[in-house]
Structure 1
Amino acid sequence: MIAAQAAITTIGAAGAHAMETADTFQVHGFMSQALIVTDHNDFFGSSSDDGGSLEYTELGLNASFRPFSHVLVAGQVLSRKAGNYGDAWQPELDYGVVDYQLIADEERAFGIQLGRFKNPFGFYNQTRDAPSTRPSILLPQSIYFDRSRSLGLASDGLSIYNEERFSNGTLYIQGGVGMPQVNSDAEISLSPDNPSLDSKLSSIGQVLYAHDGGRINVALSMARVRADYRSRQERQAKGEFIFQPMILSFQYNAENWSLTTEYEYQRKELKDFAVSSYNGRVNGESVYVQYLYRLSSRWQWLLRYDYAVSDRNDRDGERFEASGKGQDYSRFAKDVTTGVHWRVTPNWNIQAEIHHVNGTAWLPRQDNDDDNTEQHWNMLLLQTSFSF
């Protein structure tokens, strides 16, 4: 499945033609299990121990129906285990929306979604939890970070979308306002201070153009995520945390291969603190280039380079380490990934991939003590998944 198709799944479902309500109820689901082995550092469990980690499991169940021809009700419940991330196996509402379509014809689809909607963020965020939609076991961690995934995953509020169909392409526009799902993973990853974060009204939007049936896809995604920040170490240290990412996305699809690249510029800011040492701003950036070759209808091969830096003004982390805040290599990550994907049956997939990583910028703090990490490390992942 190409990335552009995955990115617009939510909008595309809302744009289906009206049909008899009795025939619209659908239930789908998926399950996956992975084995992760690292030579240094831990990822999703004690992966560096003998035998690796089996602590990466995903279970999902979704349903949708149309009570009226212009109304869609859809939702998904997700249960996952990812090392020490969050509440293991705790069922969560991944998304749940009531979609009211005001316009639906051959040229346009326009509607409103109320509820918990998946944020339109890059090519993959809206469907990132379904293994069959991902080009690899792990998405590029520089942009689709798993160690603080709740920060950009979904929002509770209102989303508006518009789909304009032209003779040689389709323009998708989606924007929303709501309360982001800022959970403990974001608190742990944001700072060793392990602050308390309470989400505030935030906004996100995306413009995506698919040309020639998805042969060329380009997108711009922007967001402003806000939360109240309170230190657990200094009671007087409280203020506001703001996260502002911007992603430029491009994909070209040929008959047997696809080239995808995304660039993210992000700003993290702490402001309005009485304790002035907390106030500050850091600008980071990320980029990946991904080549996917379809060897046959069942086999595909992937090669990717993924780069992330936490502070554009301190790319090698020297000033960060000199200030006594941590290791210099914790401020960047350079990841070379290659892998294969075997579609055993239309519903059953087996994947394998190898990562060679320099740096720990996206390494989960939930699984690691920053003082006992290694700069250069390797990771092998094997995963099987089934969807229905």
Structure 2
Amino acid sequence: MRESKSLPWSSRRSRPVLLALALAWAPTTLAEGVMDTLQVHGFLSQALVITDHNDFFGPSSSGGSLKYTEIGANASIRPRHDVLVAAQVLSRRAGGDGSDARPALDYGVVDYQPFSDQRRTLGIQVGRFKNPFGFYNQTRDVAFTRPSILLPQSIYFDRTRSLGLAADGLTVYHEERIPTGGIIRTQVGVGDIQAGDDLRRTMRLENTPGSLEPRRSAIGQVRYEHDGGRMVAALSTASARARFESGTPGMSDGSFHFRPWILSLQYNAELWSLTGEYAVRNSTLDGFANPFMNFDVTGESWYVQYTRRFHDDWQWLVRYDSLVNNRDDRSGRAFEAMGGGPAHTQYAKDITLGLQWSVTPRVLVAAEYHHIDGTAWLPLQDEPDPTQTRRRWNMVLFQLSLRF
């Protein structure tokens, strides 16, 4: 479906989700034949992560970590031919103390299509919807939809994944099939982002009394697919906002604003695919009386990826992935000179080799190797002290995935 941190059901942020679930059980769902449209699916992935230096998703540098698990179940039903009700619950553990493994609502929407024919489709979703962010964001937790065990971390951050995964609100989408054989897909959404603990850690506010509250945000994507998907291009952008409400007397509040632009391109041949994505990301935090807590930086991300399919059910991959936190300080030396920490925390260059085997349509086995220079996307829950990290490190991952 079109993902997210666990939120209390009594929270203001969950009201659109509650509305979606309430509508799901509206009397119309009892109509004759509706239950014939019910679909239920699920998936399970378990990975082993091994690093020579720096921990990633658990104590990976101490003999390996099994703290990377994804379990999900989803269901959908059509009360009417133009209404779809769908939801997914996800349990995801990625290092840390395991608290994130609590089952949480990944998405839950009522999807209404007031118009749909062979040429165009117009629809609206209400509830918790998946953000249209790049090529992979909307299905990033389903291993069968990923080209590798880890998506390119320069674009699809696991370090601050809650920020871009989902929103509570509404989204409008439109599909137009044009005579030249292409399809233009447009989606625009407005809602409250998921400002989780990972974002607070990245902003270095985890030890500051107060709360990080989401504010009304917007996201949109225009996507063009030509010749049945042989060529795909997309442009994504967002304006994501949150506010830190201080719990310390005399300390002012701060406002966070994240504005990314992502250009995505892909060419698909019969046996190979070439994919590239480029992003410019502006992040600001202001309003604090302490000027050292405020920042305004523009980062840059990009990757190029080649995948090759062989023997019907095998695929290998090679990828180069680059991330810099500040385009005006690509080496991180100015950051280090100011006492911010090691220079290598401000960039990451990753060379990835991967292999996938689809044992059956329901069983996937994957392995991959990463050689990384820099630690800009290293999760802070695994390495809270950047001064103890190593600049150059290697990582090997193995993963078994099942689906039904």
TM bucket (normalised to shorter chain) is: over 0.9
Q: Which residue of 1 aligns with 2:153?
A: 141
Q: Does 1:71 align with 2:86?
A: no
The residue that corresponds to 1:311 in the other structure is 326
1:235 positional shift: 5.5
CA distance in 1, matches of 2:235, 2:114: 25
- Pairing of 1:308-387 with structure 2 (within 5 A): 308-368=323-383, 369-387=385-403
Change (3 A) 1:95 1:251: same
Q: Deviations for 1:78-109, whole angstroms, at most 9, x for unmatched residues? A: 00111017723211100000011110110111
Indicate conservation of the 8 Å contact 1:21/1:69, yes or no.
no
- 1:77-156 to structure 2, matched below 5 A, reads 77-84=89-96, 87-156=99-168
C-alpha distance in 2 between matches for 1:245 and 1:175: 15
Secondary structure at the counterpart of residue 360 of structure 2: coil
Q: Aligned residue for 2:10?
A: none
Paired residue type of 1:294: R
For 1:259-338, list aligned pairs within 5 A: 259-338=274-353
Query: 5+ residue gaps in structure 1?
Result: 1-8, 11-18
The answer to whether the Cα contact below 8 Å between 2:336 and 2:342 also exists between their aligned partners in 1 is: yes
Aligned-pair CA distance for 1:237: 3.8
Matching residue of 1:15: none
CA contact 2:72–2:88 (8 Å) conserved in 1: yes
Deviations 1:296-331, CA, capped at 9 Å, x for gaps: 211000000000000000000001001111110000
Structure 1 residues 85, 302: CA separation in 2 closer, same or farther (over 3 Å shift)? farther
Please give the residue correspondences for 1:11-22 in structure 2 after superposition, counting only pairs within 5 Å.
Answer: 21-22=34-35
* RMSD of Structure 2 on Structure 1 (CA): 1.7
Length-normalised TM-score, structure 2: 0.89
Match of 2:45 in 1: 32
Structure 1 position 275, deviation (Å):
3.5
Q: Out of 244, 250, 255, which is 1:229 matched to?
A: 244
Give the drift of 1:336.
0.1
Whichever residue aligns with residue 190 of structure 2, its letter is V
Contact map agreement 1:257 1:293 (CA 8 A) in 2: yes
Q: What is the total number of aligned residue pairs between the two structures?
A: 371
Instruction: For residue 115 of structure 1, give the secondary structure of its aligned residue in structure 2.
Output: strand
The answer to whether the 8 Å contact 2:252/2:287 transfers is no
- Structure 2 gaps, min length 5: 3-31
| Compared CA separation, residues 58 and 365, structure 1 to 2 (3 A) | same
Q: Which moved more, 1:76-85 or 1:232-241?
A: 232-241
CA drift at 1:371: 1.6
Tell me the distance in 2 between the aligned counterparts of 1:231 and 1:363.
Answer: 27
Partners of 1:234 and 1:324 in 2: how far apart?
Answer: 27
1:203-218 alignment to 2 at 5 Å?
Answer: 203-218=218-233
Moved more, 300-309 or 236-245: 236-245
2:400 partner amino acid: T
Name the residue aligned to 2:29: none
8 Å Cα contact 1:310-1:332 kept in structure 2: yes
**What is the percent sequence identity of the aligned residues?**
56
Asked if 1 retains the 8 angstrom alpha-carbon contact of 2:282 and 2:297, the reply is yes
Could you tell me how far 1:274 is from its partner in structure 2?
3.5
* 1:255–1:337 CA distance, 2 compared to 1 (3 A): same
Q: Write the distance in 2 (CA, Å) between the matches of 1:319 and 1:115.
A: 44
Q: Which residue of 2 aligns with 1:252?
A: 267
Deviations, residues 204-255 of structure 1 (Å, cap 9, x unaligned): 0000000000000000000000000246788614221001111000000011
Which residue is equivalent to 1:162? 174
| 1:212 to 1:93, Cα distance in 2 relative to 1, 3 A | same
The change in CA–CA distance for 1:222 and 1:291 in structure 2 (over 3 A counts) is same
Task: Say which of 23, 44, 47 aligns to 2:60.
Answer: 47
Please give the per-residue CA displacement for 1:264-319, whole angstroms capped at 9, x wherever unaligned: 10000112334344333100010000000001211000000000000000000001
Task: Provide the TM-score with structure 1 as the length reference.
Answer: 0.92
Q: Are the equivalent residues in 2 in contact too, given 1:193–1:232 (CA < 8 A)? A: no
